Amino acid sequence: MYLVVVILLYLGFHPKYGVRLAALFGIAGGLNEALKLFFHLPRPYWVSAAVKAYYSVPSFGFPSGGAMCSVVVYGYVAAAVRKYWVVMVCAVLLAWAVLARIFAGVHFLLDVIGGLFFGVLLLLAFHVLAPKAEGFAAGLRKPARVLCIFLVAALPLLFVVPAYLSLAGWLMPPEWAAMAANQTGALIDPVRIRYTWDACSLILGCLLGYEFLTGRGGWTPPKRVLLRGMIALFGAASSLALIVWITEVLSMPGTALPYPVAPFVSIACAGFWFSACVPLAARKLGFGSKDPGSM
């Protein structure tokens, strides 16, 4: 869902806002997993049989990733587009994402409040620091900018690895695992790095794609809303299909790669696809033009 929002903003509004959101979303994903490991607090259905869980979530509960990422993604979109109906849609989606996690039995109210709190802090920090980082990168030569892209893509790992290592020797209470298994029939293994790999690959693919795009004159979406929508929907659908196809190919018998190589490669390729290939193809077909700011 959040990846689709990133793509729609990138192709349907403007690439410069979409690439910022991709970086912000990836950083939020890594930071959220780091905070979960640092606090290592249980989910409601792990500790209470009175809470009905509708699906299994193997990671720790605090802070809520749904709440934190929703604030970051929908808050940024609302601030970037600044249209009344967009703000209202973002507010509804944020409320739905937060309430759904509670009703599904996978978060305490405190988890959601914590997610909202850390999400707002990150969003504010990003609005302050991102322009300075972009100004610094603009003054660098291309090799240095590419190096900076890899460093930014590594930020989620820099957050999560120390938190993961801090749990060395920590043992999960056996009653948590037993309660979770009784509720959903699925085992939990919360002391594990899961989502950060996806966050790193999204940042890497999208930033490299944006660098490739701007090096070839950039792209300004067409003025007609219908054309923008068609390009954005094609980019979203084709990117999701690309992720599935590459993951399946890299997971085939005889070519299966160790986790998390397959999802990392698939998401990075999809990020490059929608951030560089789709807008360049659209420009070549006459849908949109070069971006004067990239010349």
Neighbours of 50 (CB within 10 A): 8
* pLDDT for 293: 65
Strand spans (E) along 57-101: none
* pLDDT for 295: 47
CB 98 within 8 A of CB 64: yes
Q: What pTM was computed for the model?
A: 0.92
* pLDDT for 78: 92
Neighbours of 294 (CB within 10 A): 16
* pLDDT for 102: 87
* pLDDT for 105: 85
CB 203 within 8 A of CB 152: yes
* pLDDT for 258: 74
* pLDDT for 214: 93
* pLDDT for 235: 95
For residues 20 and 150, give the distance between their C-alpha atoms in angstroms, rounded to a whole number: 15
CB 23 within 8 A of CB 203: yes
Phi first, then psi: what are they for 166, rounded to 5°?
-65, -15
**pLDDT block averages, 10 residues each, the chain of length 295:** 92 94 96 96 90 86 94 93 90 90 88 95 94 88 93 95 92 90 86 92 97 93 92 95 90 73 92 96 90 65
CB 275 within 8 A of CB 10: yes
CB 59 within 8 A of CB 23: no
